[in-house]
Structure 1
């Protein structure tokens, strides 16, 4: 997917270069274009060679500077096309965490079968308010995003209502390391583990725990969600990948099934959660 993204960015850059060289008011040099808007002189080169993603405002200014303002809609459509698959956190979180949670809430609405793999923290859809609050606070600091923590927590709690919809099914696998990661105070993690133990018997949730001691066929790497085997959402440090091409979705499905082979369920999963609870430091 990153290759497709880069190819699309390079194609947009080539189109920008074409507009600059075919300006009806006369050929515009990169330096002239940069000076017109006070840009760093390397910015034009980076945009044209696909080494930097333009903002909508960059595209508007480019179209106007090259004397072809009618090209703006085309340029914006190209940008939106590849950004629908690669959604940078910088842009998504510009207005805070709540809009991102609302987007996922909307995505849940049309799906009936969810598969999830998480290696480092408890799934958002199973989090307690205090645990979610800690997670949002940590990521807000990392991404330097607006601190709309309480609004984001409320949106995440609304997402959890889908767990009680009998038409939905959640097949989730959690690495044991996530049960022990102190991304929050021990008292908060204790309550979170209690909440997690209560989901083991839910009719809509099939929760598997992949033990740290389990033999693995593949490394337990990046977390992801699958919606109805037709779309995958992968979180990285810089962006979310929204993947919908059949070959890539099939790869993630095989990955999920391979990890599932090493997971334990029912009483065994409950025992691992209880062991993590007992191992918590005093609080």
Structure 2
């Protein structure tokens, strides 16, 4: 178990301990008697040495007179064990399988909220730009080279830009227009692609200028799928956020980032300036 998951398990145990005490159970022994559990089980859960099951959560909240906490606590339980999906484990068979696993999530999502401070979001990438990002991933994590199939799967995601009634709210920092991925020719093609997709009726593309007044620090890139899932990427792992109260924080962060972005002709002007800088 990762250190992050361990910390969350301990935090969950602390929350459950507070609920137990607020309900008038001064000791774990008294609560164990009420639930007909072993006292050691209550202790292990409260101290983060054992993860509570969904059934445990329901019974705990029932005995602690806290039914309003069930949904959020169950989300926390589901989240803990799969919190950090290490890239080396996810990509052990190459990059393409991870791209394929994303397709069902895209198919079910109606509203996308995407923040990328340094690179172009994958679904808006050209094949050449995507190929270079996958080559970097393959070299960095030393995984099997399946660049061609990984690019094909990423390009397959783009069909959702044109189908159904999905809405895509994408915010990039201006730096993403200048981060050199693949050299001038690849970057020209990618920036031209951005200008083209801006005409799509269901895509809202905002760019935060370098000198914009920021309402919140940029942080890591993240992708929100409806209000059910947020994915945050780091160098070592992919963080899956499913707890409603945490998702609400990302929604607020996105709104604050969006408030600093420009759209329409000003955004086109920033892309045009990046193209001019390529010579």
Q: Same fold (TM over 0.5)?
A: yes
Contact 1:113 1:227 in 2 (8 A): yes
1:270–1:170 distance in 2 versus 1, CA, 3 Å: same
Task: Provide the residue aligned with 1:89 in structure 2.
Answer: 87
2:209 equivalent among 208, 211, 214:
211
Q: Are 1:144 and 2:142 an aligned pair?
A: yes
Task: Provide the residue aligned with 1:238 in structure 2.
Answer: 236
1:84-107 C-alpha deviation (Å, 9 max, x unpaired): 332110100000000110111111
Task: Provide the residue aligned with 2:255 in structure 1.
Answer: 257
Distance (whole Å) between structure 2 residues aligned to residue 3 and residue 146 of structure 1: 28
1:177–1:3 distance in 2 versus 1, CA, 3 Å: same
Contact 1:176 1:210 in 2 (8 A): yes
1:1-56 C-alpha deviation (Å, 9 max, x unpaired): x876124778xxxxxxxxxxxxxxxxxxxxxxxxxxxxxxxxxxxxxxx9xxxxxx
Contact 2:118 2:173 in 1 (8 A): yes
1:105 equivalent among 103, 106, 119:
103
Distance (whole Å) between structure 2 residues aligned to residue 111 and residue 144 of structure 1: 32
Distance (whole Å) between structure 1 residues aligned to residue 197 and residue 7 of structure 2: 43
Task: Provide the residue aligned with 1:178 in structure 2.
Answer: 176
Deviation at 1:179, TM superposition (A): 0.3
Distance (whole Å) between structure 2 residues aligned to residue 253 and residue 226 of structure 1: 8
Q: Are 1:159 and 2:157 an aligned pair?
A: yes
1:256–1:242 distance in 2 versus 1, CA, 3 Å: same
Contact 2:224 2:231 in 1 (8 A): yes
Deviation at 1:183, TM superposition (A): 2.1
Q: How many residues align?
A: 214
Deviation at 1:195, TM superposition (A): 0.3
Distance (whole Å) between structure 2 residues aligned to residue 183 and residue 8 of structure 1: 36
Task: Provide the residue aligned with 2:132 in structure 1.
Answer: 134
Deviation at 1:271, TM superposition (A): 0.7
1:197-248 C-alpha deviation (Å, 9 max, x unpaired): 1111211100000100111122212000001122100001101111110111
Distance (whole Å) between structure 2 residues aligned to residue 81 and residue 216 of structure 1: 31
Contact 2:79 2:243 in 1 (8 A): no
Task: Provide the residue aligned with 2:218 in structure 1.
Answer: 220
Distance (whole Å) between structure 2 residues aligned to residue 98 and residue 257 of structure 1: 32
TM value normalised by structure 1: 0.72
Contact 2:79 2:242 in 1 (8 A): no
Unaligned runs of 5+ in 1: 11-49, 51-79
Contact 1:201 1:266 in 2 (8 A): no
Deviation at 1:109, TM superposition (A): 1.2
The alignment yields a C-alpha RMSD, in angstroms, of 2.1
Task: Provide the residue aligned with 2:34 in structure 1.
Answer: none
Contact 1:166 1:204 in 2 (8 A): no
Task: Provide the residue aligned with 1:114 in structure 2.
Answer: 112
Distance (whole Å) between structure 2 residues aligned to residue 150 and residue 156 of structure 1: 10
Task: Provide the residue aligned with 1:194 in structure 2.
Answer: 192
Deviation at 1:166, TM superposition (A): 3.2
Identify which range, 127-136 or 164-173, moves more after superposition. 164-173
